[in-house]
Chain A
Amino acid sequence: DAGVTQSPTHLIKTRGQQVTLRCSPKSGHDTVSWYQQALGQGPQFIFQYYEEEERQRGNFPDRFSGHQFPNYSSELNVNALLLGDSALYLCASSLEQGFSEQYFGPGTRLTVT
């Protein structure tokens, strides 16, 4: 049973560039949530996708956008990268928009220089 997978593992980008991160949920899960985790901090909720629509959003600017595909996989896009966007980006999957049992992927480490 495949768990949550994310790609790439690491990424280095320059300020002003755009980045796309990918996530495949755990088998049987239909909901994907994205989190940003800065060093030494807890994960911060970015948004959640269910039935290919953004259902809930945290306190993040419009530079952060996403997409969910019919196979439930998801992408996180960040435009006009800032140095402060450097963080570990985590994807979590669950069932039916739930947060009670989320399975997290290993994350993508994004460094903006």
Chain B
Amino acid sequence: SQKIEQNSEALNIQEGKTATLTCNYTNYSPAYLQWYRQDPGRGPVFLLLIRENEKEKRKERLKVTFDTTLKQSLFHITASQPADSATYLCALEGGSYIPTFGRGTSLIVHP
């Protein structure tokens, strides 16, 4: 069956360190993968999209990698700040270009 796995345990890191979040999937052949940020009680905010033929994408302090052989995406936030604390959702194309979301991983950056 199709699965998208994001670590259900919260990731706690110290301010200034690099946060790395993982998104693994099975039985998908996504044309793209997206990362969103979601704060409590708010809608998701789009961060980055990476396509199946791209290995890496960067935007300011954010970096996403996409390994279609390993069926995995890594999402990095460098020089993390307490304001980066939120839930991060990965979403991959699940057919007909419709995104299928993972459950998200909570990131807590301690000052």
Binding site for B on A (CB under 8 A): 4, 40-45, 48, 56, 58, 90, 92, 98-107, 109
Q: B91-111: contact bitstring with A at CB < 8 Å (1 yes, 0 no)?
A: 101001111111110000000
Closest Cβ of chain A to B32, distance in Å, is 7
Interface residues on B, range: 20 to 34
Q: Could you list 26 A-B pairs, sorted by A, with CB under 8 Å?
A: A40-B103, A41-B103, A42-B102, A42-B103, A43-B89, A43-B101, A45-B98, A45-B99, A56-B98, A90-B43, A90-B44, A92-B43, A99-B98, A99-B99, A100-B34, A100-B49, A101-B49, A102-B46, A102-B99, A103-B46, A104-B43, A105-B43, A106-B42, A106-B43, A107-B42, A109-B41
- B79 in contact (CB, < 8 A): no
Cβ of B32 and Cβ of A100 under 8 Å apart? yes
- With a CB–CB cut-off of 8 A, which chain A residues contact B45? 104
| Residues on the A chain within 8 Å of B44, using CB | 43, 90, 104
Interchain CB contact under 8 A, B49 and A4: no
Total residue contacts A-B, CB cutoff 8 A: 49
Chain A hits for B91, CB < 8 A: 42
Give chain B residues whose Cβ lies under 8 Å from the Cβ of A41.
103
Asked if A45 contacts B43 (CB within 8 A), the reply is: no
Contacts of A98 in B (CB 8 A): 97
Given A56-B98, A99-B97, CB of A107 within 8 Å of CB of B49: no
Expressed in whole angstroms, the minimum distance between the Cβ of B10 and any Cβ of chain A is 12
Q: How far is the CA of A107 from the CA of B40 in the complex (A)?
A: 11
A47 closest partner in B (C-beta) = B98
- Whole-angstrom distance between the Cβ of A8 and the nearest chain B Cβ: 14
Find out whether the CB atom of A42 lies under 8 angstroms from the CB atom of B49: no
Nearest A residue to B90, CB-CB: A42
Chain A residues within 8 Å of B34, by CB? 100
3 smallest beta-carbon distances between A and B, as pairs: A42-B101, A104-B43, A104-B44
Q: What CA separation (Å) do A67 and B14 show in the bound complex?
A: 47
Chain B 46-58 against A: per-residue CB contact (8 Å), 1 yes, 0 no? 1001000000000
